[in-house]
Amino acid sequence: MLQTTALVHEAYLRLVDQSRVKWEGRTHFFGAAAVTMRRILVEQARRRLRAKRGGGAEHDSLDDALTIALEPDLDVIALDLAIEDLAKLDADRARVVELRYFAGLSIDETAELLGVSPSAVNRDWTFAKAWLYRRLAGNGGN
Amino acid sequence: MTKLWDRIRDEFAKLVVLPPDERERELTLLPEEVRNEVESLLLAHQQTQGFLEWEDAKPGTAVGPYRIIEEIGRGGMGVVYRAERVDKEFRRTVALKVAGGRLFAPESARRFIRERQILARIEHPNIVRLLDGGMENGQRYFVMELIEGGPITQYCVDKALNLDERLQLFEDVCGALQYAHQHMILHRDLKASNIWVNREGVVKVLDFGIAQVLDDGDGGVSRTLTGLNPISMSAASPEQVRGTELTFASDVYALGLLLYEMLTGENPQQGEGLAMDTLMRRIFEEMPVAPSRKRSGLPRDLDAIVLKALEKDPERRYGSAGELAEDIRRLRGGHPVHAVPPSRWYRSQRFLARNRTVVGVSAVAAVIAVVAGASYVRQARVEERRFDDARRLIRKVIFDIQPGLQRFAGSTALRKTLITSTVEYLESVSRDAAGNPDLQRELARAYVEMGKVLGSPGWPNLGDAKTGKEYLRRAEKLIGEALEAAPSDANVLADATKVYTGLVYHGLPEVRYAQKAVELAQKRLAVRGDDAEALEDLGGAYFAEGQCLRIGFDPKAEDAYRRAGEVYRKLAEKKPGNRQLRRNVALTLRYRAQIALEEGRKEDLLRHAREASEISERILKEDPASQLAQTDAATDLGALAGALEVNGQELEGVTVRERSVRIKEAILRGDPGNGHAKLGLAIGDRDYCNMLIRSGDLARAEEHCRRSLRLLGELQREGKFLGLDKLNLAMTQALLGKALVRGKRLGEGCALVREALAGFEEQEKRTPGTAAVERQRKYALETHAACRAARAE
């Protein structure tokens, strides 16, 4: 799993007593964090890709630390594009993925954030994963 | 979203939970366009195990010797499981807490283990015992006794306890805290959900000191770092949110909140729909309503006790849990209490007035703002232009968050984003800073930190030295402006000294900067007198000057190091407990010894090397587990051994060399993956081997040369230090060959020397004209000649 995601989770989300305190803008913050993390990871991946092709290899060794933390099989850029495709079809399900994967929220936290039941989030999550997997594995899809 | 899409989703959700055969049957009943989609998604679903998922431990997973049964709790710092340890004879059920966030640095792991051992020694009937703990794949876990029961506040409600019973329970909590405080351990996360009452009605405080251990994972990060602490708002003291140092009084504050909740059923810092602004005001500004006004029948003295524990100013609270417990006892016994009822409002307000700036934009809000795109802060800038807030944000990011992030693997991207956001912000503030030397000096220091983080040669950095230097130049410009505006201001002089010294250390090693730093430090001492900080800055400036001069092989470097040493020595005498100052003295001596060697001053060389290693060995004795102290001692002892050889005192040289090698062994043992440690031992072994050959102890010489050879081979296979690998290997081969030839084992010995000669040649091809290669080759040729002579016989 992504260390960076864990990082956001660890470093920032726990500033809030998650089970009890609610404050205005919390949804907004988590949302922003998810988007930010997604952007960071994608940029990171793009840059690494460029470096591999020969340009600007200056930062490479430091990025290795991150590479280790990435799921080896998963191409972040492809995932990003796949999530974008999903968002075109179904923005709500894409949002669940963003919150779960990029902000590292649990099912319960995501549910609380979106104001739906945990079982609904679980259902959406299972579905979105299957859809994304199929898209990334390259067999079919709409 | 189309109707078809919704249908597909619904059918998928329905079918995915069915057993396979029913799934097949249901599928056939669907219209074709839906069926194909759902079928292919179900197929994909079977592959998604672990896809995009967190690594949560599932029941049955083994963590160390424990097996997880089920999850029983989850919080900011990790997940708690019910787990069991199965040994031959007995089976024990425990609570196992797996900490979030991973540690990879071996130093962190060692520290974790050490701290854990301290915690394991805490034994108190009201504190949950830490039974065990460990690391698995960089993930830390704690094993604690499993408590069946519930949170103390729940217990008070469920059992409908009367006031005295509640106070009795609270006294027990205080007793546990008092015991811990006597052992110098803070709890730091003392919320109601961490204080349980078990089935026998006994209070049990959970998670003792774990916050501290987790927080202190890295050697370089101070205990007081709070930017990344898990803060539970329901138990957070103002100083905890603000990010200043935590003391026993911080735990007392949390106890005050707990008592408040036990008495009134409400926690003033908690509640549904509590807005961030309100929460911050409650933590920093407003005193809570007296408990007796929430619940009738509570004595006024109890109000006084609770409110004294909840003072915003830590110094006005009870000094420890023991004092708080004492007042509760007095109240229960009908004696007068120490807390004084509300004339203190006035003073409390005064304290607030003094700290108003701190309350402005809270640190927490600022941190969140950075991640969320700095919009919050930008707004604050546009609307309020409050430089104090700007300063707080910068400090928070640079001095707390940034170093805190370093210890997370893979945090590079996040660190860069933080820095980019901060720089953007800095730039917008810089435009407004003209004519404000206080802001300019702060900004200059911030830019130096940015330069350091991006590409300082001596620190873990982000590998962008070019941008780093740009920031350093900007720092130079800003501090120049500040100096022009306020040339005799002690604060400006202090920061200017630090900025110029920083330029030297973090990427612009120019003598003129170092000399400017020296000049400014001296000026500041003249303005403000002999304070320790100013002296330390002066020492640092001299040292920087020494480093710059040394880069240019300027003989005046010796002078600068000597002055730096004098300053540090003076400071170290004043603060004998400060190891850093003594280490600095030793460092100046180390460099002076090197210069003496280069200039052929043999006696100075020996004198400096001896003194340096005396200091380093003493520091190591005081702090034997510190890798830095080990490395220092090994380095200085190695230099001393060399100095002794140069001075013809080889006998002592051999014993000193041995001490150095022993320490290097310990370093590598403690950190087996550390390439530098491995190379250090390989070279130490070789030097030792060399001395042993000369003193005629061929057996031990062989032993150490062989180990050197083995370690160098390992490094080569690991792909580390490849630049000079051939030279290193060849040098050891030549020495080992020499030892063997001396011991009349010509076959292997001569073969090694031939290999060494080939190695030197290869190295020569790769790095032509290296003096060391030529010198070493000459030594090897001597042995080679001996081989030939022996064969001729």
Distance CA A14, CA A18 (A): 7
CA B677 to chain centre: 20
Q: What is the pLDDT of residue B432?
A: 65
**CB spacing of A15 vs B231 below 8 angstroms:** yes
Closest CB to B463 among A14, A28, A62: A62
Report whether B525 contacts B538 (CB < 8 A): yes
Both B24 and B160 in one domain: the answer is no
Two tokens at B8?
């597909």
B228 interaction partners in chain A (CB closer than 8 Å): 10-11
Distance CA B466, CA B454 (A): 9
Residue linked to tokens 């004998």: B576
Query: Do B40 and B182 sit in the same domain of this protein?
Result: no
Q: Which amino acid is at B667?
A: I
3 state DSSP class of B99:
strand
* Whether B74 and A106 lie within 8 Å, measured CB to CB: yes
Distance (Å, whole) CA B529 – CA B306: 45
Residue A104 Cα, gap to closest chain B Cα (Å): 8
CA distance, residue B5 to nearest chain A CA (Å): 8
pLDDT at B350 over 60: no
- Which residue, among B333, B309, B312, has the nearest Cα to B320 in the 3D structure? B309
pLDDT given at position A63: 27
Q: Measure CB to CB from residue A29 to each of B1, B368, B408 and give the nearest one.
A: B368
- Give me the sign of the Cα torsion angle B611, B614, B615, B617: positive
Are A14 and B413 in contact (CB < 8 Å)?
no
The DSSP call for residue B128 is P
**Of the partner residues B12, B234, B412, the one whose CB lies closest to the CB of residue A65:** B412
> Is B406 part of a structural domain of the chain?
no
Which backbone phi and psi does B195 adopt, to 5 degrees?
A: -120, 110
Selected residue of B368, B379, B396 to mutate for chain A interface (largest A Cβ count, 10 A): B368
Go through chain B and tell me how many residues it has: 793
Domain presence at residue B159: yes
The token pair at B98 is 């797996």
pLDDT of residue B775: 79
Residue B252: pLDDT band by 50, 70, 90 thresholds? very high
Q: pLDDT tens digits, residue range B466-502?
A: 888 888 999 999 999 999 999 999 889 999 999 999 9
| Residues B339 and B217 occupy one common structural domain | yes
Position B93 pLDDT exceeds 70: yes
Q: Work out the average pLDDT over B694-719.
A: 91
Write out the two tokens for B139.
């993930």
Hey, what are B328's tokens?
Answer: 């509760």
**Interface mutation target, options B3, B54, B378, B420, chain A, most CBs of A under 10 Å:** B54
Residue B134 pLDDT > 80? no
Chain A interface disruption, residue of B3, B52, B367, most A CBs within 10 A: B52
Are B13 and A3 in contact (CB < 8 Å)? Answer: no
For residue B767, the SS3 value is coil
Q: State how far the Cα of B17 lies from the Cα of A74, in Å rounded to an integer.
A: 26
* Listed range (B47-51, B128-132, B160-164, B253-257) with the worst mean pLDDT: B47-51
pLDDT tens readout for residues B154-189:
999 999 999 999 999 999 999 999 888 777 677 777
Q: Residue B661: what pLDDT? A: 95
Q: At what angle do helices A118-137 and A76-89 cross, to 10 degrees?
A: 120
Are residues B371 and A12, on separate chains, in Cβ contact within 8 Å?
Answer: yes
Residue B384's pLDDT band (cuts 50, 70, 90): very low
* Structural domain total, chain B: 2
Closest chain B CA to residue A91? B1
**B85-106 residues labelled b (16+ CB within 10 A) or e (exposed):** beeeeeeeebbbbbbbbbbbbe
Is B777 part of a structural domain of the chain?
no
CB spacing of B410 vs A65 below 8 angstroms: yes
pLDDT digits (tens, 9 = 90+) for B271-290: 655 555 566 677 777 889 99
Query: Among A19, A22, A126, whose Cβ lies nearest the Cβ of B273?
Result: A22
Supply B411's token pair.
């945090």
Domain, as residue range, for B252: 148-359
Name residue B143's beta-bridge partners: B96, B132
The C-alpha atoms of residue A101 and residue A122 are separated, in whole angstroms, by 13
In a domain, B218, yes or no: yes
Interface contacts (A, B; CB < 8 Å): 171
Which is higher by pLDDT, B509 or B538?
Answer: B538
The closest alpha carbon to B258, from B201, B326, B190, B314, belongs to B190
| B381 Cα to chain A: minimum distance (Å) | 20
Which pLDDT score is estimated for B49?
62
* Interface mutation target, options A3, A5, A13, A15, chain B, most CBs of B under 10 Å: A15
Residue pair B620/B636 in contact by the 8 Å Cβ criterion: no
Instruction: For residues B160 and B40, state if they share a domain.
Output: no
CB contact under 8 A, B404 and A9: no
Chain B residues with CB-CB distance to A23 below 8 A = 274-276, 279
Task: Give a yes or no: residue B351 inside a domain.
Answer: yes
State ipTM: 0.72
Distance, in angstroms, between B411 CA and closest chain A CA?
A: 6
Which of helix, strand or coil describes residue B575? Answer: coil
Neighbours of A61 (CB within 10 A): 9
- C-beta atoms of B409 and A3 within 8 A: yes
Specify the CATH number for the domain of residue B222: 1.10.510.10
Measured between beta carbons, the chain B residues lying within 8 angstroms of A61 are: 463
Alpha helices in B121-243, H assignment, sequence order: 152-158, 163-182, 210-215, 238-242
Look at B463 and A17 and tell me if their CB atoms are within 8 Å: no
Residue B135's pLDDT band (cuts 50, 70, 90): low
Pairwise pLDDT comparison (B60 vs A75), residue with the higher score? B60
Is the model's pLDDT at B792 over the cut of 70?
yes
Q: Which residues of B701-727 are buried (b: 16+ CB within 10 A; e: fewer)?
A: bbbbbebbbebbeebeeeeebeebbbb
CB contact under 8 A, B191 and A15: no
pLDDT tens digits, one per residue of B562-583: 999 999 999 999 888 888 899 9
Q: Do A130 and B41 touch (CB under 8 A)?
A: yes
Residues 6+ apart with CB under 8 A from B540: B497, B501, B517, B564
Give the integer Cα–Cα distance in Å for B781 and B787. Answer: 10
Tokens 């081979």 found at: B713
Same domain? For B27 and B169 the reply is no
Which of A4, A90, A130 is the closest to B414 by Cβ? Answer: A4
Average pLDDT over chain B reads 78
Question: CB-based burial of residue B221 (10 Å sphere; 0-12 exposed, 13-18 middle, 19+ buried)?
Answer: middle
Chain A residues with CB under 8 Å of B47 CB are 133, 137
Residues of A in contact with B140 (CB under 8 A): none
**Shared-domain flag, residues B295 and B158:** yes
Distances (CA, A) of B7 to A133, B42, B198, B712: 20, 14, 50, 65
CB B351 within 8 A of CB B312: yes
DSSP category for residue A55: S
Contacts of B40 in chain A (CB under 8 A): 134, 139-140
pLDDT digits 0-9 by tens, B288-315: 999 999 888 898 889 999 999 999 888 8
Nearest-Å Rg of the Cα atoms of chain B is 33
Does residue B252 lie in a domain region? yes
Q: For residue range B585-623, what is the model confidence (pLDDT) as tens digits?
A: 999 998 899 888 878 899 999 999 999 999 999 999 998
In chain B, residues with a C-beta closer than 8 Å to the C-beta of A103 are none
Compute the nearest-CA separation of B370 from chain A (Å): 10
3-class state of residue B496 by DSSP: helix
d(CA B599, CA B608): 14
Q: Return d(Cα A11, Cα A3) in angstroms, integer.
A: 12
Mean per-residue pLDDT for B212-230?
33
Q: Distances in Å between the alpha carbon of B377 and those of A27, B387, B392? A: 18, 11, 11
Q: Given the structure tokens 């080992």, which residue do they identify?
A: B736
CA distance A7 to chain B (A): 7
CA torsion B217→B221→B225→B228, rounded to 10°?
Answer: -50
Per-residue confidence at B238, pLDDT binned at 50, 70, 90?
Answer: confident
> What is the mean pLDDT of the segment spanning B660-682?
86
Nearest CA in chain A to B14: A123
| Nearest-CB residue to B372 (from A17, A32, A40) | A32
B176 is written with which tokens?
């546990």
pLDDT digits (tens, 9 = 90+) for B393-431: 555 555 555 555 544 434 455 556 666 666 666 676 666
Q: Bigger pLDDT: B14 or B671?
A: B14
**SS3 call for B414:** helix
pLDDT in tens, chain A (142 residues): 233 333 333 223 333 333 333 333 444 445 555 565 565 556 555 654 554 444 333 332 222 222 222 332 245 567 777 888 899 889 899 989 887 776 656 788 788 778 899 999 999 999 999 998 888 776 444 3
Residue B680's pLDDT band (cuts 50, 70, 90): confident
Contacts of B52 in chain A (CB under 8 A): 97, 100-101, 129, 132
Instruction: Kindly calculate the radius of gyration of chain A based on its CA atoms and give it in whole angstroms.
Output: 16
Distances, alpha carbon B296 to alpha carbons B263, B264, B291, in Å? 10, 10, 8
pLDDT (0 to 100) of residue A76 = 59
Q: What is the DSSP letter of B127?
A: B
Rounded Cα distance, B239 and B247, in Å: 9
**Among B51, B272, B411, whose Cβ lies nearest the Cβ of A22?**
B272
Nearest CA in chain B to A13: B76
Last residue of a domain, one of B309, B325, B359: B359
Q: Which of B10, B71, B104, B414 to mutate to test the interface with A (most CBs of A within 10 A)?
A: B414
Structure-token pair, residue B157: 């409600």
Segment holding B140, helix H or strand E = strand B139-145
Min Cα separation A106/chain B (Å)? 9
| Smallest Cα distance from A1 to chain B, Å | 6
Residue B245 lies in a domain: yes
Question: Of the candidates B188, B89, B99, which has an alpha carbon nearest to the alpha carbon of residue B144?
Answer: B99
DSSP helix/strand/coil, B205: strand
Identify the sign of the CA torsion B653, B655, B658, B659.
negative
Q: Residue B348: inside a domain, yes or no?
A: yes
Taking the C-alpha atoms of residue B144 and residue B122, their distance in angstroms, rounded to an integer, is 12
| Contact yes or no for A134 and B44 at CB 8 A | yes
Cα gap B421→B180, rounded to integer Å: 41
